[in-house]
Amino acid sequence: MTRAARALPEALARLEAAQLRRRRTTVEGFADAASRARLALGGRTLVDFSINDYLGLARHPALAAAMGASARDAGAGSAASHLVTGHGTEHERLEEELAAFTRRERALVFSTGYMANLAVMSALAGRGERILLDRLSHASLIDGAQLAGARLRRYAHADAAAAGAALEEDAARTAVIGTDGVFSMDGDLAPLAALARLARRADAWLVVDDAHGLGVTGASGRGTLEECGMSGADVPVLIGTLGKAFGSFGAFVAGDADLIDYLMQKARPYIYTTALPQPVAAASRTALALIQAEDWRRARLAARIERFRRRALEAQVPLGLSRTPIQPVVLGSEAAVLAAQSALAAQGLWVAAIRPPTVPKGTARLRVSLTAAHTEAQIDELAGALGHCCERLRARVPA
């Protein structure tokens, strides 16, 4: 056994002692045929408040039917990369429909959102250049900047003034300004209008990862850009995922035709991987059609968000200012958030504890995720249970 291998048990023990060791939860099934609001876990049925299936589409029968029909024709896997023989008609149609939905010239489908972010950042910046990222940007944007070999500078979260100050340190070398649209652990929105002005001033790319905004925010579900009144000219590079509001899997980059062609030539995470299975692309196309046709899903989700916030604040649950389905309850310590997760699970409510390094030290939290599939009764039950948890935690803190 090597010295490095012998060090692993000690490293794991340190994580355990710090209450930072992660363990997987195996979902055994779903209690409701048409939604993921209730899941089977450890032989029990719990209401799931940690899922990103914001519009309740992941178990929609139309998605399953589209996937099955495509699998009978195209098979289960693509068997090659997009640039060899893996690119099929379902991919092509999905890209065309995503481009139309986002009002861009073209779109490029990726296997995961992580790969899309790696691809964009590494293709649009290089050694000797700079990338500016919001401090709370998704890990994949950070890793993409590191893959590019560019100098990474992170500015204070959602602080356009801080971004401007960072830009002025070396505007000429700044190639990319990047941010989430909706931040995955806080649920707040990036200051896109101000960031667009900075990008124009520096003649830099503005890259927005709108994984948690597309399908949900904006009057027609076109995401954070629509919510903020931004156009493709303001945000030339838009990244979206298909595994959240779309209820499917995969991701895409949307932009003008030259950008997409350039990514096809230079983006290593696109070139050197097997294409997304066509049945998954078919399911995503069906989800996109439902998102555009069924506005009631966003309306119901908005009502659930408003109800949860009202009930939770009445119960003295510490909420932030998020207007999105992501409603973090910051409890601070790892011990507190793990205890709260356990107490809620005992009451039939599944809310995952989020700890560092996913969130900054001292901000461990319950990440409440609301969906159109949740009922009003489930929302009220969660708010009340969270109130009791927070009350017990406050009682343990010395005055």
- Beta-carbon contacts of residue 294 (< 8 Å; ≥ 6 apart): none
> What's the sign of the alpha-carbon dihedral 326, 330, 333, 338?
negative
Query: Active site includes 70?
Result: no
- Helix spans in 232-295 (H): 257-266, 268-271, 278-293
Identity of the residue numbered 326: I
Active-site option among 184, 248, 284, 322: 184
Nearest to 375 by CA among 45, 40, 49, 41: 49
DSSP secondary structure code for residue 317 in this structure: -
Bridge partners of residue 253, in order along the sequence: 108, 239
User: Which among 82, 91, 244, 374 is annotated as catalytic?
Assistant: 244
Q: Is 349 strand, coil or helix?
A: strand
- The secondary structure of residue 82, as a DSSP letter, is I
CB burial of residue 58 (10 Å; 0-12, 13-18, 19+): buried
How many CB atoms are closer than 10 A to CB 352?
19
Helix (H) or strand (E) holding 238: strand 237-241
Cα separations in angstroms, 26 against 23, 29, 121? 10, 9, 33
96, 257 Cβ separation under 8 angstroms: no
Catalytic residue (choose from 212, 284, 369, 374)? 212
Return the structure tokens found at 310: 């009202």
299 is written with which tokens? Answer: 């309306």
Residues 333 and 336: their CA atoms lie apart, in Å, by: 5
184 included as an active-site residue: yes
Those residues whose C-beta lies under 8 Å from the C-beta of residue 270, and which sit 6 or more positions away, are 82, 108, 110, 115, 119, 263, 264
What ranges make up the beta strands (E) of 251-362? Answer: 251-255, 326-332, 349-350, 353-354
Active site residues: 184, 212, 244
